[in-house]
Amino acid sequence: MSKLPCKVIEDLCPLYVDDVCSDESKNIIEEHILECENCKAKLYAMRQNLSINPPIIKENITEKKLFKKVKRIWIISMVIVLIFSSFLFIFLSGHTPELFQEGNPLPYTKSFIQLIGFKDYVNITTVGESTNGQIRFLTRKDDHKDFFNYIEKEYQMKYRSQMGAGYIFENDTSSMVLVSETYMKFYTIFKVGTVH
Ligand SMILES: [Zn+2]
């Protein structure tokens, strides 16, 4: 059989490596590489690549998957942040004058963010600087139950009665008044009056 040109063998090599060529082609290649070091080396290199490549491809796939997952999580969290901040922005811009009703709005803003999130009442004094050192609390409007329970425990007093905007707490020796004020339509500020 006449020797085939190396170019033809080179074309057949991938089929040989993948084991998809005919027996005839196989024989031709095997005979050829017995005599041709060049093609033998190429075939050998192709085989090496085949055994090295699959794990690399696999790794790439898992890396890609992980990257996709991270990307998805990132996008979802950005969307949540965006939705939340737009709500907050709409809410705040609709209430600008009331926002400044108590002076510095920052402690109040921080407080109602906590309130929206997970709390029944927030001590504004602990969130930001208080005005005149007076202790103030923020609650949702008409939702004072948990807050009053907290006050009763904290000050060792019982809630007695309401007088207008004032809520009176007492024990055997003293009394105090919580003065309430509506804040931003949906919230109430309670100012802790002096204990007598
Ligand atoms: Zn050759």
Predicted TM-score (pTM) of the model is 0.53
Question: Among the three residues 17, 32, 55, which one is the final residue of a domain in this structure?
Answer: 55
Measured in angstroms, how far is the CA atom of residue 52 from the centroid of ligand 1?
24
CB burial of residue 140 (10 Å; 0-12, 13-18, 19+): middle
- Number of domains into which the chain is organized: 2
Say if 77 falls within a structural domain.
no
Q: Tell me: pLDDT of 80 over 80.
A: yes
169 part of a folded domain = yes
> What pLDDT does 129 receive?
63
Residue 14 lies inside a defined structural domain of this protein: yes
Centroid of ligand 1 to alpha carbon of 55 (angstroms): 30
pLDDT tens readout for residues 41-59: 999 998 887 766 555 555 6
In the structure, ligand 1 is a single-atom ion and the residues with CB under 5 Å from it are 6, 36, 39
Q: How many angstroms separate the alpha carbon of residue 51 from the centre of ligand 1?
A: 23
Domain holding 15, by residue range, is 6-55
- Identify the burial level of 108 via C-beta atoms within 10 angstroms of its C-beta, where 0-12 means exposed, 13-18 middle and 19 or more buried: buried
Q: Are residues 184 and 108 part of one domain? A: yes
| CA 6 to centroid of ligand 1, rounded, Å | 4
Q: Is residue 33 part of a domain?
A: yes
> 155 φ, ψ to 5°?
-105, 5
CA of 25 to the centre of ligand 1 (A): 14
Residues constituting the chain: 196
Distance 22 CA to ligand 1 centre (A): 19
**Is 51 found in the same domain as 109?**
no
